[in-house]
Amino acid sequence: MSHSKPISLKDVFWLWLPLAGSWLLMGIESPMLAAFVARMVSPEITLAAWGSLVYPISLVVEGPIIMLLTASTALAKDLPSYKKLFKFMLIMSLVLSAIHILIAFTPLFFFVANDLMNVPKALLGPGKTGLQIMTPWTLMIAWRRLNQGVMIKHGSSNMVAIGTAIRLITLVFVLSYGRWFSDLSGIIVGSSAVALAVTAEAIYAQLAVRRILRGILSKENVSEQVTRKSFIRFYLPLAITPLASLLIHPVGSAGMSRMPEALPSLAAWPVVYGLVFITRSLGFAFNEVVVALLPHPNGKLELLRFTRILAISTSAFLGVLALTPIGGYWFLYVAGLSEELAYISSITLVFAILMPGYQAYQAWYSGLLVNKNLTNGISFAVLIYAIIAIIGLWLGTRLATFPGIYWAVNVFVFAGLSQTLYLRYSYKRIG
C-alpha cells in the first residue's frame, strides 16, 4: 500500500482485523489451558503453579524480544535489513534462553521462587517442571515475531492469523491427548502444549515469510539500512518496555502470596488474566497498525477515530461480562472453577473493566512515538507503571484485609491509567 494514498476507516479495520484475530486466538490459549487443567488432578495446585511461576517467569525472560514485532514492522525495509534483524534476534534469544535454562535447571529456581516470590511450597515442584518444559519458548517467540513484523509491513497480516490458528490447533491437540489419553500431570500437559504450539507457529511463520523475502523485500533498495548502533538506539527503549511490564506478573504473584487468601488468589489469577487478556488483545493488535498506516496523508485522523471506537467497545464488552451473570457462568462452567474460585474471579473482573479501553490508547500513543523514532517516552511510561504497581502491591502486603487478587488488580488498573496519561504527555510534548 503506497504511503501517498489516503486511507479510510475501512482500511484501518481490514489491516487490524487479522492481527486482532491472531491476538484473540492467543488470548484464548490461557483460558483453554485453564479449562483443561481444571478438569485434571490437583487443579488448584496446577493453576497456581502455572499462573504464579511458569508463565510469569517465562514472560519476564522473553520480555526483551517481545518488541521485535514492532521493530521488524518499522525497520525491515529491504533484505539486508531483514538479515541484520535476524542476526540480532538470534543473539538476543540465545542469551535469554540461557538465562531461562539457568533459572529452570539450577538452584537459582529456588532462590527466585522461594526467596524472592515466596510462593507456597506446594507449587515449587510443579513450577520447576513446567519451567523446564518451557525452555524453547523464548527462541520460538523471537523467531516468529520477527517474521510477523515483515508480514504486517508488507500487507500480509492474514498470514499472522493463520499462524496463530496453527498454534491454537496444536495447543488443543496436545491438551486433548494429555487430558484423555495419558496419565501425565496437568503441569506437564499444559506446559508441553504451550511450548509445542508456539514452536509450530514459529516454523509456519518462517515458511510463510519466504515468499515476501524472495519477492517484495529482495526488490526493495533502501539507502538507509539497519546498523548495530541504529538498532540499539531504536530498540533498547522498546526492549525495556515489555520487560518492565512483564516483571509485574511475578511481582504480582509475590504480592498476592503475602496477602490474605494467597492460594485461591494465585489459582484464580491466570483464569481472570486470560479473560481480560482476550479483550485487551484487540488493543495490542492495534500498535503495529498505527506504525504501518500513520505515514498516509489522513492516517492520523482515521487511526484516532478507530482508537476511540476500539476503546469504548472493548471496555463495554468486558463490562457486560463483569456486570451480568455471563462472567460467573464462564468461570464456573467454561473454565471449570470451583464455586469459591468462580466467585473470587467474578468480583475481580469488575475491577478490570477499564483495562481494554486504556490499552487501545496505549497502542495509539506508542505507535505515534515509534513513528517519530522517539521510543524513550514509551520506556518512561512503563517505568511509571512498574513503580506505581510495585509500591501499590507492597502496600497491599501491609494493608489488605480481603483476597489479594482484588487489591492487585486495582493496583494494576491505576498503574495502567498512569502509564497511558504519561504516553499522552510524551506525545503532546513533541507533537
Instruction: List Cβ neighbours of 377 (8 Å cut-off, separation of 6 or more).
Output: 369, 422, 423, 426, 427, 430
The 10s digit of each residue's pLDDT in 388-431 is 999 999 999 999 999 999 999 999 999 999 999 999 999 988 76
Query: Average pLDDT for residues 12-33, to the nearest whole number?
Result: 80
For residue 151, give the C-alpha cell.
Answer: 508480514
Distance CA 424, CA 362 (A): 8
- Give the residue among 259, 293, 225 at the shortest CA–CA distance from 396: 259
Distance CA 44, CA 187 (A): 11
Element (H, E) at 284: helix 262-284
> Which letter does DSSP use for residue 123 in this model?
G
Confidence of residue 183 (pLDDT cuts 50, 70, 90): confident
Higher pLDDT pick, 211 / 86: 86
**pTM of this prediction?**
0.74
Distance CA 150, CA 138 (A): 19
Predicted confidence (pLDDT) at residue 41 exceeds the cutoff of 80: no
pLDDT for residue 219: 59
Sketch the domain layout of the chain as residue ranges: 9-430
pLDDT for residue 134: 96
Predicted confidence (pLDDT) at residue 142 exceeds the cutoff of 60: yes
Element (H, E) at 153: helix 137-153
Distance CA 96, CA 276 (A): 28
Query: Average pLDDT for residues 181-210, to the nearest whole number?
Result: 92
User: Torsion angle of alpha carbons 282, 37, 262, 26, nearest 10°?
Assistant: -10
Share of the chain above pLDDT 90, in %: 42
CA pseudo-torsion sign 167, 71, 361, 349: positive
Do 65 and 93 contact (CB within 8 A), yes or no?
yes
The 10s digit of each residue's pLDDT in 259-302 is 998 889 988 887 888 788 888 888 888 988 898 888 888 889 99
Distance CA 25, CA 14 (A): 17
Distance CA 19, CA 147 (A): 14
Q: Is 175 left (phi over 0), alpha (psi -120 to 50) or beta?
A: alpha
Instruction: List Cβ neighbours of 28 (8 Å cut-off, separation of 6 or more).
Output: 168, 278
pLDDT for residue 191: 93
> Which letter does DSSP use for residue 120 in this model?
-
Predicted confidence (pLDDT) at residue 357 exceeds the cutoff of 60: yes
Report the mean per-residue pLDDT for the chain. Answer: 87
Higher pLDDT pick, 250 / 171: 171
> Which letter does DSSP use for residue 1 in this model?
-
> Which letter does DSSP use for residue 136 in this model?
T
Q: Where are the alpha helices (DSSP H) in 38-123?
A: 43-49, 55-62, 68-75, 79-105, 108-110
DSSP 219-258: H---SS---HHHHHHHHHHHHHHHHHHHHHHHHHHHHHHT
Distance CA 125, CA 151 (A): 40
pLDDT for residue 349: 94
Predicted confidence (pLDDT) at residue 52 exceeds the cutoff of 70: yes
> Which letter does DSSP use for residue 185 in this model?
-
For residue 27, give the C-alpha cell.
Answer: 488470548
